[in-house]
Structure 1
Amino acid sequence: MWNEKFKLWIRASRLFSITASGIPVILGGVLAVQAPEFNMGYFILSIIGIIFLHVAVNLLSDYDDFINKVDTKDSYGSSGIMIEGLLTPKEVRKGGIILFFLAGLIALFFSYKRGIVILILVIIGAISGYFYTGKPLKLKYRGLGAPVVFLTFGPLMVLGAYYLQMQEFSLKAFLVSIPLGLLTTAILHVNDIRDIQYDKRAGIKTLSMFVGIKNANLIYFSLIILSYISVIIMVFFKVIPYWSLICLITLPIGIKNIDRLRKSKGSSDAIAYLDQETAKLQAKFGILFILSILVSFVI
């Protein structure tokens, strides 16, 4: 019984998505790994904390989408746990709040050890996460999902993880956060493209609905391509090592995803799992990006 319940919570957590937050935090820490100030304990705890926060946001956003009738039996969003009646909305919300609380405890510890700046960054991240779909801001429902995801999963996480180690901000940390922020935004954006008809039915507004399907597709194409262009530019200006060009081996996956969206012609069925495929692209790209920086330290 407990084993089955555990499997339900794993499904509800949507663990496939945690690379979107884990990789930026790892990258921020890796940028400081050679410094005498680097603290491995803080590094590991920061990864645990961001996973707690990310899963909490997954659960709470699923709860909000279910309550607001954004996710229904015929839509593709969420884990489907509440729609199938496997967990109650009350259980899912409670799980999200507990994980939010645990992430908050870790944040308070870091704030005590590293100062007010960490606390400010954490508060910004917590507000962005909780009010992504939560009342009263409902950021996603007002077409602000994409910019919030870019800022949170790009600069905020990388800079925060770097500051945790070094007690200072870095232009390099900001710049290297850009390609990851772009790819993570692409995950959310293609999800919104797929769900346009369901979101419209629920009476909410996303960026894809504001700009129209053609422009929404163009934005997705741009997010993917610009992530690679940004790496090339940073290598050219020696912001990152030439080893980082290894990320380009994932470009065919990006092109394949772009082509799938282009051929879908507005069909939700044709891109039912394109958000997950984009998440896999972000994970592969991010892992190679991190490895390229680590290799540059020893070669």
Structure 2
Amino acid sequence: MQSSLQTDRRSPVNRHRDWRVWWRLMRPHTLTAAFVPVCIGTALAFHETNIRVSLFIAMLVASLLIQAATNMFNEYYDFKRGLDSPESVGIGGAIVREGIQPKTVLNLAISFFAIATLIGVYICMNSSWWLALIGSICMAAGYFYTGGPIPIAYTPFGELAAGFFMGLLIILISFFIQTGEITKTAILISVPIAILVGAILLANNIRDFDGDKKNGRKTLAILVGRDNAIRILAGMFVVSFIWMVGLALFHLVSFWTLLVFFSVPKAIAAAKGFIGKTKPIEMMPAMKATAQTNTQFGFLLAIGLLISHWL
């Protein structure tokens, strides 16, 4: 049996040369949670100052590296805890399907953190060294999401942590490094993005409901039940759109930002896609639509902010 399995697999050399293995390991569908907030914070800063492109690129790359590293830590620790198998849906599969050594995945994640730290030094040199502390906390949150004795991902606070660190904080840091300040508008405009980033995690937990419950996780979806979790997900979409209407009505942002409503069909598809589904593979389109909602909403918001600046 063992020899037949080895024969069916590609050789390690070929596996490791296949860039798609490493691309899947970074879980690209989740990277929207990193680059969308950077774009929004920078677009908002256009209203206050001239943008330094070098800081924008540095912040964008650092955020993507931290998100990718967080995904790799997830892959590593879920494997070490015996939660991943070749049949697992939604994982990179580098370890359980492609045969890459777990230590390689862990070292790659640490390397990404190291590069992000070096980029962070450049950002601090051109803004404030207080960001070193904040950036360190963000990376710690990324590690402890699935690492450590009590991973955040195994608690009901995963969505809250993701929304706060990958939504609100990234927008505010991106805004601060360009303007040197934090405004009320920057804080308020980060709220719907934080909600949508949290929605990506909730969608992930709805998809993994049965497996997480079997393995003793206490995610928000498990605490409230699958059906209520879907209702909460739909409510998160609704609140995000209503929040933008409120900001526009109170003249805190331009009505151009209501371009975000063009992403409503994707949000509806995401919420409806979970209804009546119980198998993870059946819910993958809804999971994908949730991430796409965040992407579309975020980019449309950034475009609206830029248009309102130029007009």
Q: TM-score, normalised by structure 2?
A: 0.90
The alignment's C-alpha RMSD in Å is 1.8
Structure 1 position 71, deviation (Å): 2.0
1:90 equivalent in structure 2:
103
Asked whether the 8 Å contact 1:107–1:122 carries over to 2, the reply is yes
Q: CA deviation at 1:200?
A: 1.9
- 2:298 alignment counterpart: 286
Q: Shift in Å at residue 263 of structure 1?
A: 3.1
Instruction: Determine which structure has more spread, i.e. the larger CA radius of gyration.
Output: 2
**In structure 1, C-alpha distance between the alignment counterparts of 2:308 and 2:50, rounded to whole Å:** 19
1:75 lines up with 2:88 in the alignment: yes
5 Å-filtered alignment, 1:119-198, equals: 119-198=132-211
Instruction: Say if 2:295 is the partner of 1:277.
Output: no
Aligned residues: 298
Long gaps (5+) in structure 2: 1-13
2:31 is equivalent to residue 18 of structure 1: yes
Q: CA separation in 2, counterparts of 1:38 and 1:270? A: 43
CA separation of 1:242/1:81 partners in 2, compared to 1, >3 Å: closer, same or farther? same
Deviations 1:151-175, CA, capped at 9 Å, x for gaps:
1122111111111111211111111
Partners of 1:269 and 1:23 in 2: CA distance:
26
Select between 215-224 and 3-12 the one with higher mean Cα deviation: 3-12
1:109 aligns with 2:122: yes
Q: Distance in 1 between matches of 2:167 and 2:184?
A: 13
> 2:203 touches 2:233 (CA, 8 Å); kept in 1?
yes
| Percent pairwise identity | 27
Pick which of 169-178 and 68-77 moved more: 68-77
Distance 2:237 2:160 in 1: 15
User: C-alpha separation between the residues in 2 aligned to 1:137 and 1:109?
Assistant: 33
**Structure 1, residues 157-210: CA drift from partner, whole Å, max 9, x if none?**
111111111121111111111111111111110110111111122222211111
2:19 alignment partner in structure 1:
6
State the match for 1:260 in structure 2: 273
Structure 1 contact 69–202 (Cα < 8 Å) conserved: no
Shift in Å at residue 110 of structure 1? 2.0
Unaligned runs of 5+ in 1: none
d(CA) in 2 for partners of 1:267 and 1:36? 49
Q: CA deviation at 1:216?
A: 1.2
Structure 2 CA distance for aligned equivalents of residues 230 and 36 of structure 1: 26
Structure 2: how far apart are the matches of 1:277 and 1:59?
Answer: 22
Q: How far has the Cα of 1:6 moved from its partner?
A: 2.5
